[in-house]
């Protein structure tokens, strides 16, 4: 697969989404208050990294599968249940 085909297939749908744990861990390890981790981590460390990424403007990726993005109801928070 050449670069153009790859780019067409995997176009980001939201510029604030981070696709993959590796990228988010590399980004968060850039800051002194978020130490790099290996293996299982405790809840406090998870929250620290999550809040740090939120402060940088990142959010969880939209639910998607092979280019199809699941649309969330406009008046319903993404994590709410009926």
Burial class of 25 by CB neighbour count within 10 A (0 to 12, 13 to 18, 19+): middle
- Tell me if 24 sits within 8 A of 53, measured CB to CB: yes
pTM of the model: 0.51
List the chain domain ranges. 3-69
29-60: pLDDT as tens digits:
778 878 778 888 899 988 888 888 888 887 77
Predicted confidence at residue 11, as pLDDT, reads 64
Residue 82: pLDDT band by 50, 70, 90 thresholds?
A: very low
């Amino acid at each position: 697969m050449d670069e153009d085909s790859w780019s067409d297939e995997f176009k980001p749908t939201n510029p604030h989404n981070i696709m993959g744990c590796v990228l988010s861990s590399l980004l968060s390890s850039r800051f002194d208050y978020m130490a790099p981790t290996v293996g299982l981590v405790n809840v406090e460390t998870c929250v620290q990294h999550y809040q740090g990424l939120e402060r940088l403007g990142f959010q969880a990726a939209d639910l998607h599968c092979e280019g199809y993005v699941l649309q969330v109801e406009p008046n319903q928070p993404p994590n709410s249940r009926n």
